[in-house]
Amino acid sequence: MNKITDIKLTDSLINNLYRIANKNYIIMEICGTHTVAFLKFGLKHLLPKTVRVIAGPGCPVCVTPQKLIDYAIDLSEYAIIVSYGDIFRVPGSFSSLEKVKSTGKDIRIVYSITEALDIAIDNPTKMVVFLAVGFETTAPATANVLIKAKKLNVNNFFVLPGHKLIPPAIEYLCSNGVKANGFMLPGHVSTIIGCSAYQSIVDKYKIPCVVTGFEAIDIITSIYKLVEQINNNDAKLDNTYSRGVKWYGNAIAKENIATVFRTTDSEWRSIGCIPDSGLELNENFHKFDAMKKFDIKLLNSTTEDNCCRCGDILRGIIEPEQCANFGNKCTPEEPIGPCMVSSEGTCAAYFKYGNIY
Ligand code: SF4
């Protein structure tokens, strides 16, 4: 499909949406890239007033608990700390990796965990700890590299495990009275886990769900299909991103995750503990677990962000403009909470794109 066809189709779908959207709809997306795309394409301003799209807990950096950042900061006393760029500015209880790096600690940003393993191989006399955050999208890379590190018998490479799983988070939202009546499901995560991972949620909660890609037409098509399902009172699992997402996902990626990790209850920042929503290293990979290797005890970690309403934003209870700090005390230059730090955080996306159309 070319861009002109895309624009004509999007236009036609929006017109049809105005025709069928005859009551109030709240659709939740659970993907930082969807948050950004929805605002950047100006779709928020093109929808009928009755159709609201709200963001859920889809920004992996935003849901990484302060305690994990505190651990990484403490470990910088003993090891080179490596992670993805987005996490560097996120505040822990008292500081951030960025601030600690400015005091001289060896903390490095990489695009891929493969680079972190290379740093360990190149520095055999030093310990290297990779802060492994992200959803099912980044977990396969962590698994692949740990399988490789095991084969190469690398003894100075460790992982601080912080991966989280999306379907248990959706289940948590549903079982705790989320005010959405349909879910736009994440495209990247779904390429790994497949559509089948959500079927039990649709069956149990009778809530419309559509796996969605990242072009304007993908998002509008999904919104249209969700509104249709809600109108027909017919909750189904649909997929408008079939060019990227298959029913069972990526078998090799899932197998590697299962080889290295097992599920565990996990703390989501500003939300709380969600059952079976995290990944911890299984016994065969314990030697790479930084928590076990260094036995760090945190005495002063906090669990709440004072004055920050990220928890309410991540559960779709409020939108960023409803936080008193938004745009004045809290900006991307001077962020208070993680939702304003990450480029895919809801507050940062609203700040950057919310009023440009
Ligand atoms: S605007 Fe800032 S303080 Fe308010 S919820 Fe967002 S990140 Fe937190």
212-252 residue pLDDT tens: 999 999 999 999 999 999 999 999 999 999 999 999 999 99
* 271 has a pLDDT exceeding 90: yes
Give the pLDDT band of residue 118 (cuts 50, 70, 90): very high
- Residues 117-134 as b or e (16 or more Cβ within 10 Å = b): bbbbeeeeeebbbbbbbb
Pick from 35, 66, 336, 346 the residue to mutate for probing ligand 1's pocket: most ligand atoms within 8 Å of its CB: 336
Cα 346 to middle of ligand 1, angstroms: 9
Q: Is residue 308 within 6 Å of ligand 1 at its C-beta?
A: yes
Asked if 185 and 219 count as a contact pair (C-beta separation under 8 A), the reply is no
Three-state SS letters, 181-250: CEEEECHHHHHHHCHHHHHHHHHHHCCCEEECCCCHHHHHHHHHHHHHHHHHCCCCEEECCCCCCCCCCC
Half-sphere exposure of 344 (CA within 13 A, CB side): 20
Which atom of ligand 1 lies at the shortest distance from residue 323's CA? 4
Whether the predicted model's global pTM rises above the 0.85 cut: yes
348 lines ligand 1 (CB under 6 A): no
Percent of the chain with pLDDT over 70: 95
Cβ 116 under 6 angstroms from ligand 1: no
The residues that bridge with 108 in the sheet, in sequence order, are 82
Residues forming beta bridges with residue 262, ordered by sequence position: 280
CA distance 288 to 186: 30
Model confidence band, residue 32 (pLDDT cutoffs 50, 70, 90): very high
Using the mean position of ligand 1's atoms as its centre, give its distance from the Cα of residue 61 in Å: 14
Predicted local distance difference test score (pLDDT) of residue 300 = 56
Lowest mean pLDDT among 90-94, 103-107, 197-201, 323-327: 90-94
pLDDT confidence of residue 357: 54
Q: Would you say 90 and 69 are in contact if contact means Cβ atoms under 8 Å apart?
A: yes
Beta strands in the chain (DSSP E): 25-29, 51-55, 79-83, 107-109, 127-134, 157-163, 182-185, 209-211, 237-239, 261-268, 272-281
Q: What are phi and psi of 337, to 5 degrees?
A: -120, 170
Calculate how far, in angstroms, residue 113's C-alpha sits from the geometric centre of ligand 1.
Answer: 29
Q: Is 347 in the pocket of ligand 1 (CB under 6 A)?
A: yes
- Are 212 and 189 in contact by the 8 Å Cβ rule? The answer is no
Quote the ligand 1 centre to 269 CA distance (angstroms).
13
Tens digit of each residue's pLDDT (9 = 90 or more) over 36-67: 999 999 999 999 999 999 999 999 999 999 99
Q: Is the CB of 314 under 6 A from ligand 1?
A: no
The pLDDT of 115-130, averaged and rounded, is 98
Q: What values do phi and psi take at 290, rounded to 5?
A: -60, -35
Q: 356 CA distance to ligand 1 centroid (A)?
A: 20
Residue 169 has pLDDT above 80, yes or no: yes
Give the number of the atom of ligand 1 that is nearest the alpha carbon of residue 327.
1
What letter represents residue 128's amino acid?
V
Spacing, Cα 117 to ligand 1 middle (Å): 35
Nearest to 227 by CA among 199, 208, 250: 208
Domains defined along the chain, listed by start: 3-53+167-239 (3.40.50.11750), 66-165+249-294 (3.40.50.11740), 310-350 (no CATH)
CB of 235 closer than 6 angstroms to any ligand 1 atom: no
